[in-house]
Amino acid sequence: MDKLAIYGGEKFRKQPFPPRTPYGEEDFLQVKEALESQDLFYTAGNKVAGFEKAFADTYGVKHCYTCSSGTASLHMAVAALDPEPGGEVITAPVTDFGTIAGLIFQGLIPVFADWMPDALNMDPKSVEAKITPKTCAIIVVHLFGNPCDMDAILDIARRHDLPVIEDCCQAYLTYYKGRLCGTIGDIGCFSMQMSKHLPTGEGGCVITDNERYASRMCLFRDKGWENRERFGPRAYSFLGTNYRMNELTAAVAISQLNKLEHTVSSMRALALELKNLLADEPSLIAAPSLEGADASYWLFPIIVKTGDAELFAKALQAEGVPFGYGYTGKPIYLCMEALTAKRTFGTSGYPFVSEFRDGETAYAEGLCPVAERQLKQLICFRIFENWTREDIADVAGAVKKVARNLA
């Protein structure tokens, strides 16, 4: 058996993997058109409006509105519900700060549902167990581009009369039983940050078929300004903020949307090949997914069932395959001081300490035991759309080498 590189053996992968190169001539032409207009504000040109229509058509929905980030998209979605302060929103324990930020700014309390074992996604049983009379919404997070159990979650939501927001920031063109994630719940939220399937550097958008939610999101991103198109006395209909996208970002978004199907299908095909190559490794669960799920593989996760996952990741790095250990390291409720230490608005502790809340809101170890345990078993890897089957064969070979040596 070959000696592991971490212990002085020869590296399995000797050359670097190809870097992602998402931009080309089409992007340059779109940006040039935007600049030549001499006005990059979203109401003046056709790039923002053009992208919104094209994205809505891609997803088969009535409304799409752009914004400045994925964080902004989730804040817009929560604000569209117009919830009362002190309300609770159930969401995933392993996610980005962006999923949570809008809740706190709207005076809401994040409540965390645990993962299903060996699924790396929200457990519908845990979601239902966390519902209280204060619950006002559910935010599902399709982590790594892997869909949650939407049938079960929608059943729970409808029985309890709760709106469902889908965090699709890692899940472009992701399908659950033939339906596009983002169209299954009430509102879908997307990020265009540089690492995403559709990269503009920064940006986001929301989609919905609900007319009331659409109207509120459109206004909320533009300070609640109702009569922007008319000169004269202004009318700001409710508390909003400035989450607008500009024409330059939208120009890149248009060209990237034209490439999106190829980007996702390429990543998916390569990831499925890697998953198949690793299927016979008994110590690993490679990229788990539910029946009927068609993931988009923003990351390729592996659960290391036996042994030291951190050592496994370090051994793979030494072999020339840059896996990371533990993803976020800890669930969001243990690594975000706005939650752990209530560092929010001055020393107030709002919204956790307020006239709208009874008792203490505590976030501590043991809150979501499955997620806490399986983060420590998790290693992750990024596959890009410009890679080849030979690149994937090298990843699989390195993983097998490490798995069998460490076993």
- Tell me whether residue 97 is in a domain: yes
How far is residue 40 from each of residues 92, 102, 128, measured CA to CA in Å?
A: 37, 27, 46
- Tell me whether residue 294 is in a domain: no
Determine how many CB atoms are found less than 10 A away from the CB of residue 317.
16
HSE-CB for 123 with a 13 A CA cutoff: 17
226-277 pLDDT, tens digit per residue, is 877 777 788 889 999 999 999 999 999 999 999 999 999 999 999 999 999 9
77's enclosing H/E stretch is helix 70-81
Which range of residues forms the domain containing residue 164? Answer: 25-258
Q: At which residue do the structure tokens 């709002």 appear?
A: 350
Task: Return the CATH number at 184.
Answer: 3.40.640.10
**Does residue 1 have a pLDDT over 70?**
no
280-325 pLDDT, tens digit per residue, is 999 999 999 999 999 999 999 999 999 999 999 999 999 999 999 9
To 10 degrees, the CA torsion angle through 114, 277, 22, 323? 60
- Tell me whether residue 327 is in a domain: no
> Which residues fall within 8 angstroms of residue 31, CB to CB, at 6 or more apart?
248, 251, 252
pLDDT of residue 76: 98
In whole angstroms, give the CA distance from residue 407 to residue 404: 5
pLDDT confidence bin for 206, thresholds 50/70/90: very high
Q: Region 335-346: what's the mean pLDDT?
A: 96
- Tell me whether residue 391 is in a domain: no
- Tell me whether residue 38 is in a domain: yes
For the chain, the 3-state helix, strand and coil shares in percent, each to the nearest 5, are: 35, 15, 45
**pTM for this structure?**
0.97
The residue among 95, 121, 140, 147 whose CA lies nearest residue 268 is: 147
**What Rg do the C-alpha atoms of the chain give, in angstroms?**
22
- Over the chain, what is the mean pLDDT? 97
User: Could you tell me the sign of the dihedral formed by the alpha carbons of 329, 399, 118, 172, in that order?
Assistant: positive
Please check whether residue 375 is in contact with residue 331, taking contact to mean a CB–CB distance below 8 angstroms: yes
pLDDT of residue 6: 97
In whole angstroms, give the CA distance from residue 292 to residue 208: 23
In whole angstroms, give the CA distance from residue 163 to residue 158: 8
pLDDT of residue 232: 78
How far is residue 392 from each of residues 269, 292, 397, measured CA to CA in Å?
A: 10, 24, 8
**Does residue 50 have a pLDDT over 90?**
yes
Q: Region 61-72: what's the mean pLDDT?
A: 98
**Does residue 82 have a pLDDT over 80?**
yes
- Tell me whether residue 69 is in a domain: yes
Tell me the β-bridge partners of 191.
204
State percent of the chain over pLDDT 70.
100
In whole angstroms, give the CA distance from residue 83 to residue 309: 41
State percent of the chain over pLDDT 90.
95
- Tell me whether residue 358 is in a domain: no
- Tell me whether residue 182 is in a domain: yes
In whole angstroms, give the CA distance from residue 157 to residue 131: 10
In whole angstroms, give the CA distance from residue 138 to residue 223: 25
166-204 pLDDT, tens digit per residue, is 999 999 999 999 999 999 999 999 999 999 999 999 999
Number of domains in the chain: 1
Please check whether residue 190 is in contact with residue 51, taking contact to mean a CB–CB distance below 8 angstroms: no
pLDDT of residue 354: 95
At 52, is the secondary structure helix, strand, or coil? helix
pLDDT of residue 226: 86
Please check whether residue 255 is in contact with residue 26, taking contact to mean a CB–CB distance below 8 angstroms: yes
The residue among 126, 181, 146 whose CA lies nearest residue 372 is: 126
